Amino acid sequence: MALDISYPDLSDHPSFDNHEMVLCAQDSDIDFKVYIALHNTGHGPGRGGCRYWSGYADDMAAQRDVLRLSRGMTFKNTLANLPYGGGKTVIVGTPGTRAPTPEIMRALGHALNALDGRYETGEDVGTCTSDFVIAGEVTEHVRVRAVARAGVQDLPGGPALYTAHGIYVGMKAAVAHKLGQNDMTGVRVAVKGLGNVAYPLCQFLHADGAHLVVTDLDQEKVSRAVAEFGAQAVSPDEIIAQDVDVYSPCALGGDINDESMDSIKAKIIAGAANNQLALRRHAQDLHERGILYAPDYAINAGGVINVVSVGQSHEQVMAQVLNIGTTLEQVFARSDAEDKNTSIVADTIVMERLAEAENVSADLDEAC
């Protein structure tokens, strides 16, 4: 192994946001390159998944992803009242591949060791539990090792099911606030993507009486949703423009952008995707148009709540997941009271909590 580890200065990158550290590790012999970003660890060691993606146009795109995603994890963990900071891993995949090799996962393990426990990672887009079993051969800093150390088994359904529960309760909070309705009966929801989170979300919504419009690149998943839920199928290009009450982006990010904004007919945006807004100013655009946006890092926190709750029961984890609805109710109410967009309100709550944590830390240092 010829692993080269460096700590590039990305402070000039447009997506840099006072990140504490960025690590880059490479091994050309196995076509391995990874970026690991730690955004803020004021509340505790970094937590955030590992993405394998072969579609990055260049290094700037991969860096943008890891910087934005790690910042999102800081905000997600803080708003969910979890004692962890934000971090993220992006493996720059070989073009045409969809999953990492065992050699790449072992190389990742060695790169994680360089951070000496400041960050722990696990599954995300393009990776699965078995990948981290391999990485765990050389590092302790992956979630599967934490589960093994605790001597417990993962809860049934895993992070995806808890994420789906969180989206569901968050969407219900948005519907109650915007439409004045306490259940989903007759609510029209357009769901983009039918993956491990979105499909159980559709199950919850269907059981609660919602009418579904769905799309996915995998036509087998679409056909299943049509048969099981009576959903209406449309193409991926058409989904965001549907005349529905709720648009639920559950695929990759950037759906809400300058090009798509005028197409949106939904009154609410509430979905599982990370970084749904292409630019931060799009939150203000939605606010001015009267579209209620459930900030992505607030509503999709169910998975990370499950991930960091090693050893807790299903009931304990679900109690925290259900708080996502309560948190969003607070964000919506404050947005109305202050006439500020929901993204700014959620960000403000996070910054208030981070500042409080820094003050507590400073007080403790002085006391010592």
Q: What CATH number does the domain containing 171 carry? A: 3.40.50.720
> DSSP readout, 298-317?
HHTTHHHHHHH-TT--HHHH
Q: What CATH number does the domain containing 123 carry? A: 3.40.50.10860
321 lies in the same domain as 174:
yes
- Strands 32-40 and 21-27 come out as antiparallel
197 lies in the same domain as 342:
yes
30 lies in the same domain as 97:
yes
Torsion of CA 179, 185, 191, 194, to 10 degrees: 150
249 lies in the same domain as 163:
yes
pTM confidence score: 0.85
Domain end, chosen from 124, 150, 176, is at 150
- The answer to whether residue 270 is domain-embedded is yes
Instruction: Give the pLDDT of the chain (368 residues) as one tens digit per residue.
Output: 689 999 999 999 999 999 999 999 999 999 999 999 999 998 899 999 999 999 999 999 999 999 999 999 999 999 999 999 999 999 999 999 999 999 999 999 999 999 999 999 998 889 998 999 999 999 999 998 988 887 866 666 778 899 999 999 999 999 999 999 999 999 999 999 999 899 999 999 999 999 999 999 999 999 999 999 999 999 999 999 999 999 999 998 899 999 999 999 999 999 999 889 999 999 999 999 999 999 999 999 999 998 888 888 889 999 999 999 999 999 999 999 999 999 999 999 999 998 887 764 444 344 43
- The answer to whether residue 358 is domain-embedded is no
Which residues carry out catalysis?
Answer: 88
Overall number of domains in the chain? 2
Quote the domain boundaries for residue 49: 4-78+85-150
E strands, 2-121, in order: 4-6, 21-27, 32-40, 46-47, 50-53, 85-92, 119-120
What residue spans of 183-313 are helical by DSSP H?
A: 198-207, 219-229, 282-288, 296-299, 302-308
